[in-house]
Structure 1
């Protein structure tokens, strides 16, 4: 890759890794918080959903800012805010402060994806490859963040674990402030430059964006986000409830196998994320997206039954689930880039992550509610149907120019 591509890939990989370190460490703490704060899964799912939802709500204004002022400063501010919000989380004495801390973290996290993805789509020469490396960076954070949390929890209280997870943001900010790449934003021919904010122009660009196949792609991403959040938020808790995976004692300390299965699933996602990004350089992205969603639907239906067959089949299903879940992300990111004009890539990714993390955050509340009033099979059945509906919409998208 060219020097600018290497710099952009390195910076966004690190920042993306921090985003997912925080985002997917939260489920590791859920089993503890259910006990410490004495709340139901429905309540805690709603609280966490508020924070995750802010990631989506803030994505649209973040995308607008990225289109007008560039991405570097926004990404650095996002990493600082996520670290600060996560540190505040460690001070929570009750579920109310927990909610405030998670919402502060979510507001800061909302800035990252529109800024980071628009930087890649606008400035990288080998866009698909940089998207793939970007995804790998995210999955390294996705895997190492929860794994680090799970290992530290064997020896430390959860508050200290959260504080330690906030520290790696410091070198990321220093690196991002010093590395060189061209992040210049070209003035849009439709707004006469970027010296002033034109709200009417934003509405006009949004209407134009949603008159294309982008609308269907947006709904598909929204459904995928619901599946993603609904599955991962309580996944360690669901695995811990299976007969074969109860907590065990290791050298006098209690270890939870469910946490390590969860982190292993996320680690497999590293390969899936890279593979998904590479596929988009060789295969029509809608076909790849259709295949991944169909597989996700099937895996949701066989997830729990596979645990009754044996440990090996269950772990295989977990590995396939992690691979496919994260292979889908770079695929839909390229679909969005192909369905939006270059001048509004930041806005398009803002709307995309409104769907992915904003509407998708309902998956956390949905999961908590179904687990509280029904059971895990009901949750996974609903998630499988959601993935099937998304796959059907991709078929419709294929018929549009």
Structure 2
């Protein structure tokens, strides 16, 4: 079924926003090495500065969701795009001040601005789009496009330009997207007009926020939140450490790069990793289309099970040569991103329309905030226990997600409905 004009308008707007969030996000590590040399500071200090940008990215999702419900998702997405672009202009100006602390300010501004996007963007799709699964698919593909393209563009430009110029150039697409968004015209509640009681400008007081939060976590959303957190633990652990794991693998030793690329010390494993991200675009599309045909909980249970199997298979497979490694990484990239439209759709299935921004705020607090703890867990396991233990831990995360998803598929959510009904009856009595 083709998208109507409202669906197409929302799809274009949110795809641009999603691509740019990850365009900026994945370009930041490319600058890290340059900042070490530019400011002559320790790795510890630069790592702390970079963490200032990434920490609000997850933590700020919850207030971002609250603001999306209060002011409307379009305003929040425009604010996000403008804020991220201005943050990278601030980074460029840091070279004039010759201060790593000015870089810290720019990254902090980026993290705060970027945290708004996911709850606002997904809330907009879930309430404004009729063909939700299809748009979730294209939205995910756009995110993967930004993930893969951001570091490539940054690294390529740094070959011929100074880093402040590169930072400023990376901000240009953000400003273009703001101009596009201002001209975009769509109905943000077209898909749920009859279900939305509160207007976007209705203030959400602290007691209302607490009441809405309690209502969410007294429903099946509590299970969705936990399983999304475990997906985040798997996702962040894989994407953080896979490039390092790929470096020096015996299966990649015979893989040669073009001489013009080798002089920049680019490891072949990096290209395998980027290939995984590119395959993820197909996974996003397939997952999004399947959400229109497969119940969210059932699809999540199956995909979590596959992720667990892939984690357990990684160490044995890497010893079987280049072909086996590439095949495993291709399947991993496909499934790792195919699962995302399913949990995004699960949030829409198990939450009321008028608190969708809050719901996605909590979702991405779990995905990017709590999920980021796997960076510390993974670093410890790789350093102290070895590669096999690291992947066993990832498999454990996926199995928890599979178990919770299977419980939802078997009707566990009906227990919450019964509890709500009993509570309502007690209140009336």
Report the TM-score when normalising by structure 2.
0.83
Among 384, 394, 399, which residue is 1:388 paired with? 399
Name the counterpart of 2:8: 6
Residues 9 and 130, structure 1, Cα contact 8 Å, conserved in 2: yes
Residues 45 and 367, structure 1, Cα contact 8 Å, conserved in 2: no
Residues 8-17 or 172-181, more deviating: 172-181
| Aligned CA distance change for structure 1 residues 94 and 325 (closer, same or farther; 3 Å) | farther
1:107 and 2:112 are equivalent in the alignment? yes
| Aligned CA distance change for structure 1 residues 89 and 239 (closer, same or farther; 3 Å) | farther
The alpha carbon displacement at 1:385 in A equals 1.5
Among 22, 25, 43, which residue is 1:23 paired with? 25
Please give the secondary structure, in 2, of the residue aligned with 1:309.
Answer: coil
| Aligned CA distance change for structure 1 residues 37 and 227 (closer, same or farther; 3 Å) | farther
Residues 73 and 124, structure 2, Cα contact 8 Å, conserved in 1: yes
Matches within 5 A, 1:45-194: 51-89=53-91, 91=94, 100-152=105-157, 155=160, 161-183=166-188, 194=201
**TM-align CA RMSD:** 3.0
Q: Hey, what's the Cα distance between the residues in 1 that align with 2:373 and 2:50?
A: 10
The alpha carbon displacement at 1:26 in A equals 4.1
- 1:122-161: CA deviation from partner (whole Å, max 9, x where unpaired): 1112122221221122122122223333444555566654
The alpha carbon displacement at 1:194 in A equals 4.1
Please give the secondary structure, in 1, of the residue aligned with 2:319.
Answer: helix
Name the counterpart of 2:263: 253
| Aligned CA distance change for structure 1 residues 62 and 287 (closer, same or farther; 3 Å) | same
- 1:285-342: CA deviation from partner (whole Å, max 9, x where unpaired): 1111111111112222223432321111111111111111110111100011000011
The structure with the larger Rg is 2
| Aligned CA distance change for structure 1 residues 289 and 17 (closer, same or farther; 3 Å) | same
Q: Hey, what's the Cα distance between the residues in 2 that align with 1:193 and 1:6?
A: 22
The alpha carbon displacement at 1:277 in A equals 0.6
1:326 and 2:337 are equivalent in the alignment? yes
Name the counterpart of 2:205: 198
Q: Hey, what's the Cα distance between the residues in 2 that align with 1:98 and 1:230?
A: 26
Residues 317 and 324, structure 2, Cα contact 8 Å, conserved in 1: yes
Which segments of 5 or more consecutive residues in structure 1 lack a partner in the other structure?
none
The alpha carbon displacement at 1:105 in A equals 1.8
Name the counterpart of 2:354: 343
Among 365, 370, 375, which residue is 2:376 paired with? 365
Q: Hey, what's the Cα distance between the residues in 1 that align with 2:302 and 2:269?
A: 28
Name the counterpart of 1:212: 219
Please give the secondary structure, in 1, of the residue aligned with 2:398.
Answer: helix
Residues 380-389 or 110-119, more deviating: 380-389
| Aligned CA distance change for structure 1 residues 159 and 194 (closer, same or farther; 3 Å) | closer
The alpha carbon displacement at 1:114 in A equals 1.0
Q: Hey, what's the Cα distance between the residues in 1 that align with 2:59 and 2:161?
A: 34
Among 271, 291, 297, which residue is 2:282 paired with? 271
Residues 234 and 394, structure 2, Cα contact 8 Å, conserved in 1: yes
| Aligned CA distance change for structure 1 residues 368 and 22 (closer, same or farther; 3 Å) | farther
Aligned residues: 399
- 1:209-264: CA deviation from partner (whole Å, max 9, x where unpaired): 11111101100001111111111123222212324546966137323322222211
| Aligned CA distance change for structure 1 residues 306 and 96 (closer, same or farther; 3 Å) | farther
1:228 and 2:235 are equivalent in the alignment? yes
The alpha carbon displacement at 1:57 in A equals 1.8
Report the TM-score when normalising by structure 1.
0.88
Q: Hey, what's the Cα distance between the residues in 2 that align with 1:318 and 1:306?
A: 10
Residues 66-75 or 22-31, more deviating: 22-31
Q: Hey, what's the Cα distance between the residues in 1 that align with 2:315 and 2:162?
A: 31
Residues 127 and 189, structure 2, Cα contact 8 Å, conserved in 1: no
| Aligned CA distance change for structure 1 residues 38 and 373 (closer, same or farther; 3 Å) | farther
